[in-house]
Structure formats: structure tokens, C-alpha cells
Amino acid sequence: MHQELDRDRDRRGGADPSADAPNLDAVVGQRRGLRRSLSDVEQALASPAAGRTAAWTARLTESLEHLCETFDLHVEVTEGPGGLFEDILATAPRLANRVRRLRAEHASIRMAINAELLQLRGATASAAPADVDGFRDRVNRLLALLVRHRQQGADLIYEAYHFDIGGEGS
């Protein structure tokens, strides 16, 4: 990250891009946490379910619950008072429509996470085995939506601050 910051600073003639965006450190931190949570969910989905559906369902439920918490932090850092979206709108009002779209995606992503958690908890409570293939299909679509959302957020930050937040290493 520091190498990217230094390269970007050199391209901008020595200006520190984070001086324009006081919340970038928080955004980078929550972004890494969100990426780890996405990876945990993907690993839970990919784990074998045959003959161990209850354990598979429990692992997926736990990883989705953690993703839900991490996503809530993402929303807080971006939408909260003094958050990233406020900074972007003050710095680059031309990006208001993109901020509005990302904000709207937060609600739909949160509803999708909650819907899967509700179904997983229902599968855990019932005696019938979980629909593993159905969960895999739906949650993989959810992960794709989150990855796209992160990419669009990285594009937005770059347009507002000329700072590449997209290629963090962990």
C-alpha cells in the first residue's frame, strides 16, 4: 500500500492523495476485512458437504454472519457521518450519482445476506438436509455482487482522489 501511495504521489507531483481524503486509512482497513470475509465465505462454500451437511451449513452460517458484520462496518465507514461518501461528495460533487448507486447497493446487498442467513438458520432448525447446491448458487451470486461493488468503490475512489485502493495485498 505504501509503495502504491508513493507511486501515486510521484505521479501527482508530490501531493499526498490521502490529504484530500481523511478516511482512506479506515477504508483500506475495512476493505481488507471485507476481502477476508468474502474469502472465508468462498472457502465455506467450497468445503465438502456430502455426508456432513449439518457441519457444512454451520460453517457457511458462521462465515456469512461474519460477512454481515464486516459489511455493516463497510457501510458505516462509507455512509456514516464524516464517512467516505461525504468526503467524496465534498471533493467531487460530479460523482453524486455513483455515490447514490453504491449507497443503494448497500441496502440490496444487506437484504441478500440476511435472506441467506434466514434460510440457513431455517435449514439448521429443520430435520431435512440443506439444499447445498441452491445455497452454493445463491451465495456465489452474492459474492459476485460484492466483488463488483468493491470494484466500483475502488473506481469511485480513484476518480475522486486519483488514489488506487483496488490492489491491496491482503
Neighbours of 126 (CB within 10 A): 9
Q: In this predicted model, what pLDDT tens digit does every residue of 124-153 receive, in sequence order? A: 877 667 799 999 999 999 999 999 999 999
| Nearest one of 37, 23, 142 to 78, comparing CA atoms | 23
Percent of the chain with pLDDT over 90: 71
Predicted pLDDT at 6: 41
Confidence (pLDDT) at 129: 72
Average pLDDT, the chain: 86
50 and 27 Cβ atoms separated by less than 8 Å: no
Instruction: Catalogue all structural domains in the chain, each as residue range(s) with its CATH number.
Output: 2-161 (1.20.120)
Q: Which of 154, 156, 162, 160 is nearest to 10 (CA)?
A: 162
Return the higher-pLDDT residue of 83 and 2: 83
Q: What type of residue sits at position 98?
A: R
Task: Provide the percentage of residues in the chain whose pLDDT is more than 70.
Answer: 82
Mean predicted confidence (pLDDT) in 82-103: 95
Mean pLDDT of all residues in 106-121: 96
Return the C-alpha cell found at 2: 505504501
Supply 106's cell numbers.
Answer: 448497500
